[in-house]
């Protein structure tokens, strides 16, 4: 986990971004992150 400021919430797996709150404008639901990690 890398701390940040300004409402950023990004999830990366093995260097690949799977979710970005900055891009979507909304905080993800847990199942959204899990589904993207399994894809």
Number of domains into which the chain is organized: 1
Q: What's the pLDDT score for residue 38?
A: 86
pLDDT for res 19: 92
Q: What angle do CA 8, 29, 33 make, to 5 degrees?
A: 75
Predicted TM-score (pTM) of the model is 0.69
Using one digit for the tens of pLDDT, what is the confidence trace for 14-38?
A: 999 999 999 999 999 989 989 988 8
**Domain with 12 in it:** 1-39
Q: Give the residue with greater pLDDT, 7 vs 23.
A: 23
């Amino acid at each position: 986990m890398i701390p940040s400021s300004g409402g950023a919430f990004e999830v990366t797996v093995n260097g690949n971004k799977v979710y970005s709150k900055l891009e979507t404008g909304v905080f993800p639901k847990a199942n959204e992150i899990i589904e993207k990690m399994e894809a």
